[in-house]
Structure 1
């Protein structure tokens, strides 16, 4: 009998540990605190397994660890969860064990429910030692309740069995509370870290916007001040043109940052990919005379999206490729058609390390001495908003290829 008691109680403890791990895994995958419904579901599964592997002391008196998941869920998630689990325990006890002494089970768990409901709010604010002491006292009380009724109904229990029946539930309760507290602490730390990272990104973004907008506005302000004292009409016109250019530059910076707030295009257009890429190359050629261009483009291939955003995406990648070849090199753009469209932009520039490839597209990460890294991030966001993928292959000092995969637009049939 001793082996049977020990085996069943240890199995019960294993089910409780697995339930706590399932709780932690749920949070790890979803990044959300489990809802009361999820808590009730996980606790019900654990309680069911504990009931199925309970040990019978005497007719109608059974010993198991079903009360531990009941304690944990009740104290950490409140009276509603506690009341539902109390009903669940009584029903499972009736369905799988029987109606013998069910009135005592109802009395035992109802009294415990009232105590847990009264102390659940203060429990979360209490120190870990107080939490463990409280749960140990409740667990010991319920264990004694079972043993007393086992004695009343003349159950044959040896001294060794009494030790197992008292010590194992208490030890299991202490370990379970320690694991629950560790999971709760990790969840709080992760939430704090996430908030800190968001604040850091906001701080960097604000600093970057301030830097990039202030410079052109400062130059525009300077030209306007000079214009106020300038009498030569030709110079005034030149100062006005330079001021407007600075304001346009600041406007473009703001538009680039607005890209990060748009996850989906406002207005879907059918974009002629070849025409857009040719126009971009013709625009950047005069600014990159040290780079030779080659391209293989396919006619009549369309994608769905925003023309302005698509051009910005391809333009940012091409601009990065040119800037990675300060001593000159070759830049090629190739379209490959399969089930989807793949645009490959290849340069013979400085290339990237494995670590830099992994961080490709992260905000504020750049391989250049000057820059914010937001151009590549904007390209990444635009591609994903078009339900596409972006990948990069690179070798240090051998160049980089960026692959942009997009769904082709459905052909519009005439008539």
Structure 2
């Protein structure tokens, strides 16, 4: 029984079948236009191994030549239905008669295979994977046996040898099982990828909505603080007018933030301008003072003149987030220290607090969306801050000890008059 070996021709036939399956899914997954012609693509990918299997058959012995053409033929019908099956039947018969000449037994057997497979196809595609695997293997054995019976009835010279039984009846069910398993795994992978893409789109929408809410809350918090201060009946008219100007400015900024997010779907070239950093930092400190006063936090500053290039709105939003985080880290009061130094083409801004501090995990995950050490935090403010600093080719470093405080150091390149800095997009 030396025929029971997988010779090179068996492996070649199996190779043709598996490669055609992979090509089908690669084309179907990466070329959306082909999804409209799924059955045409399936017919093309199944017809190639049918022809190749017949062109390079399995030589069993001197009296028997066989191939695995029925595997892609059955797969095409089971997954594509009778339209694909009819096209494959025509291609198979034309190739068979062109290579070996006309044979009535071949015509009858493959007509029988086509009819039986087409009738079973609809039920096959409604089954789960486990049922498909079992039914495909069983269906292959059944068709092999019935095809053999038809050949015996129509030809007295037809012989059923051990080699024939092994290669035509026993081997195909295992290959069918393996091929159907690969198809089902690849189909599930495509469906899973589609679902993931949909979930990612929903996540983007959710994150955008949460981000808008978070960023608008900052100026509203400042407005709330100034309104609280305006309740003081002893305020002079000049101070009151100054507070009203701050309220108006913050409401305008909230409107600008909303407009920026609404324009998110249509990205535009970022506005790059000279930023007088010391002026902007003092402006941010004035914005944060009401919140600091409500939390019994004192603000100290040491600021040197410096100029950088970037987006003024993003810069202000970034450092407002960082300072606000520092104030909120001291719920029982404390000191927020702002230190700014300009040296050798670089500008350092240090924001230090003596609040609750951060763990190593919190430092490592700083800037991740939806991760925050605050009970109602979203992490989006930190994410926006880091992204803004990266856009300006800067770096952010955090040093913190629990219950001792946190120091955030932002390093940004100073403006180069001869070669203006471009935002990194």
Asked if 1:120 corresponds to 2:121, the answer is yes
Partners of 1:331 and 1:346 within 8 A in 2: yes
8 Å Cα contact 2:319-2:385 kept in structure 1 = no
Counterpart in 2 of 1:44? 47
2:265 is aligned to 261
State how far apart, in whole Å, the 1-side matches of 2:409 and 2:240 are: 46
Aligned mate of 1:167, from 162, 166, 170: 170
Distance in 2 of aligned mates of 1:85 and 1:346 = 72
The answer on whether the counterparts of 2:4 and 2:166 sit within 8 Å (CA) in structure 1 is: no
Unmatched tracts of structure 2, length 5 or more: 286-300, 327-335, 352-360, 400-407, 414-420
Residue from 242, 248, 252 that aligns with 1:244? 248
Note closer, same or farther for the CA distance 1:313–1:223 as it changes in structure 2 (3 Å cut): closer
1:284 pairs with 2:280 = yes
Partner of 1:178: 181
Q: In the alignment, is the contact (CA less than 8 A) between 1:57 and 1:156 conserved in 2?
A: no
2:102 corresponds to:
100
Q: Equivalents in 2 of 1:183, 1:193: separation in Å? A: 15
Counterparts of 1:65 and 1:217, CA distance in 2: 72
Report how far residue 134 of structure 1 moved.
3.4
1:291-310 map, 5 Å:
none
Which stretch shows the higher mean deviation, 132-141 or 248-257? 132-141
Contact 1:58 1:155 in 2 (8 A): no
| Equivalent-residue separation in structure 1 for 2:26 and 2:306 (angstroms) | 50
The answer for the alignment partner of 2:384 in structure 1 is 375
Which of the numbers 45, 68, 72 marks the counterpart of 1:69?
72
How much has 1:169 moved relative to structure 2? 0.5
TM-score by length of 1: 0.61
The correspondence for 2:205, drawn from 192, 202, 207, is 202
Number of residue pairs aligned between Structure 1 and Structure 2 = 365
> Cα distance, 1:360 vs. partner?
10
CA distance in 1, matches of 2:206, 2:30: 28
Q: Distance in 1 between matches of 2:350 and 2:373?
A: 12
For residues 19 and 213 of structure 1, do their structure 2 counterparts lie closer, same or farther at Cα, with a shift above 3 Å needed?
A: same
Which residue of 2 is the match for residue 12 of structure 1?
A: 13
- Give TM-score scaled by structure 2 length: 0.60
Cα distance in 2, alignment partners of residues 367 and 216 from structure 1: 21
Moved more, 224-233 or 363-372: 224-233
Quote the Cα distance in structure 2 between the aligned partners of 1:57 and 1:29.
40
Give the deviation of 1:122 after TM superposition.
Answer: 3.1
Q: Summarize deviations over 1:130-167 as a string: whole Å, max 9, x none.
A: 32343234423443465456652635553244233211
Helix, strand or coil at the partner of 2:157: coil
Q: Which residue of 2 aligns with 1:154?
A: 157
Unmatched runs of 5 consecutive residues or more in structure 1: 298-308, 335-344, 384-389, 408-415
Q: Evaluate the alpha carbon distance shift between residue 258 and residue 57 of structure 1 in structure 2; reply closer, same or farther with a 3 A threshold.
A: same
Provide closer, same or farther for how the CA distance between residues 163 and 363 of structure 1 changes in structure 2, counting only shifts above 3 A.
same
2:332 matched residue in structure 1: none
Counterpart of 2:58 in structure 1 is 55
Change (3 A) 1:48 1:378: farther
2: CA distance, partners of 1:51 / 1:402: 69
Equivalent runs, 1:349-388 vs 2, <5 Å: 371-372=379-380, 373=382, 375=384
Matched, 1:191 2:194: yes
**8 Å Cα contact 1:260-1:378 kept in structure 2:** no
Alpha-carbon shift at residue 170 of structure 1 (Å): 1.1
1 CA distance for matches of 2:139 and 2:364? 52
Aligned equivalents of 1:365, 1:115: Cα separation in 2? 58
8 A contact 2:59–2:66 mirrored in 1: yes
CA distance in structure 2 between the aligned counterparts of 1:124 and 1:194, rounded to whole angstroms: 25
Residues of 1 paired with 2:228 and 2:281: CA distance? 35
Report whether the alignment pairs 1:132 with 2:129: no
Larger Rg: 2
> Aligned Cα RMSD in Å?
5.6
> What is the correspondence of 1:336-347 to structure 2 with a 5 Å cutoff?
none
> Is the Cα contact below 8 Å between 1:321 and 1:331 reproduced in 2?
no
Deviations 1:218-239 (A, max 9, x none): 7758988999999999487567
